[in-house]
Amino acid sequence: MQEPRVIVALDYDDQAQALSFIDQLDPSLCKLKVGKEMFTLFGPEFVKLLVDKGYDVFLDLKFHDIPNTVAKACKAAAELGVWMVNVHASGGIPMMMAAKQAIASSRHPSTKLIAVTVLTSMDQAQLNEVIDDVTPKEQVLRLCALTSKAELDGIVCSAQEAVALREHYSDDFLLVTPGIRPQGADAGDQKRVMTPSDAIDHGVNYLVMGRPITQAQDPIAVLKAVNASIS
């Protein structure tokens, strides 16, 4: 069976609601992402519960701090048995290298480490409030080059940058893309969006999808429809 390419962002504020969604799933349908909200509310025990249920878990805490702090945080995250963790690429090469080494020295060295480039909620205007005279694509390429130098497993970016990235990086360098919206779905706060099938056609490895699935009337039906559209 094909590995699931959809990572469902479990951004629930109620653990029982999250678990009732998960009870209708199995690990062949999707991977699961635990982000800042659920981790802050329910902690490592919730992450371990999902790992014990057999899911590949992406622990999305987007660490960004001095190298020593990020390294220790990444080691602690890896030791929860998660499939993937992330840091901000703008923390720089020494921070990313320290994180990579810390995971390698952990009890779960296979945990993948990726770096966030430019958040998918940022458009050109918002990015230029932070940094002058650069397009999202140029900034993603720049931060991706740092990530690649630090020999991480891949990046978080929008699917809109995937074609440009694939000119430089082979398919085993992971492109993980939030901001995925089925045709006609509400973009919410996401700015650089794309449909699931276009994202896969553009060379993305994994699609992160939250609200279009979790807030649908029938989340499982939406997930299965997305899987069918990219199979």
DSSP state of 215: T
Q: 177 has which bridge partners? A: 207
Question: 143-182 mask for ligand OMP (x: CB under 6 A)?
Answer: -------------x---------------------xx---
Query: Cα separations (Å) of 186 from 122, 161, 210, 211, 215?
Result: 16, 21, 12, 9, 11
Q: Is 38 in the site for ligand OMP (CB under 6 A)?
A: no
* Residue 75: active-site member: no
100 is known as an active-site residue: no
Q: Is 34 in the site for ligand OMP (CB under 6 A)?
A: no
Binding residues for substrate: 11, 33, 60-69, 120, 181, 190, 210-211
Separation between Cα atoms, residue 153 and residue 88, nearest integer Å: 13
52 catalytic, yes or no?
no
Number of residues that bind ligand OMP (CB under 6 A): 20
Q: Tell the smallest beta-carbon distance from residue 179 to ligand OMP (Å).
A: 6
Strands (E), the chain: 6-9, 31-34, 57-63, 84-88, 112-116, 154-156, 174-177, 206-209
Q: What x/- string results for residues 52 through 91 when contact with ligand OMP is judged by CB under 6 A?
A: --------x-x-----------------------x-----
Residue 190 in contact with ligand OMP, rule: CB under 6 A: yes
Please name which of 19, 30, 61, 40 lies closest in space to residue 210, comparing C-alpha atoms: 30
Q: Which residues, 6+ apart, have CB-to-CB distance to 121 below 8 Å?
A: 179, 189, 190, 191
Based on the shown chain and the rule CB under 6 A, indicate whether residue 210 belongs to the binding site for ligand OMP.
yes
Give the 3-state secondary structure of residue 142. Answer: helix
* Site of interaction with ligand OMP (CB under 6 A): 9, 11, 35, 60, 62, 86, 116, 119-121, 156, 178-179, 188, 190, 208-212
Which active-site residues does the annotation give? 60, 62, 65
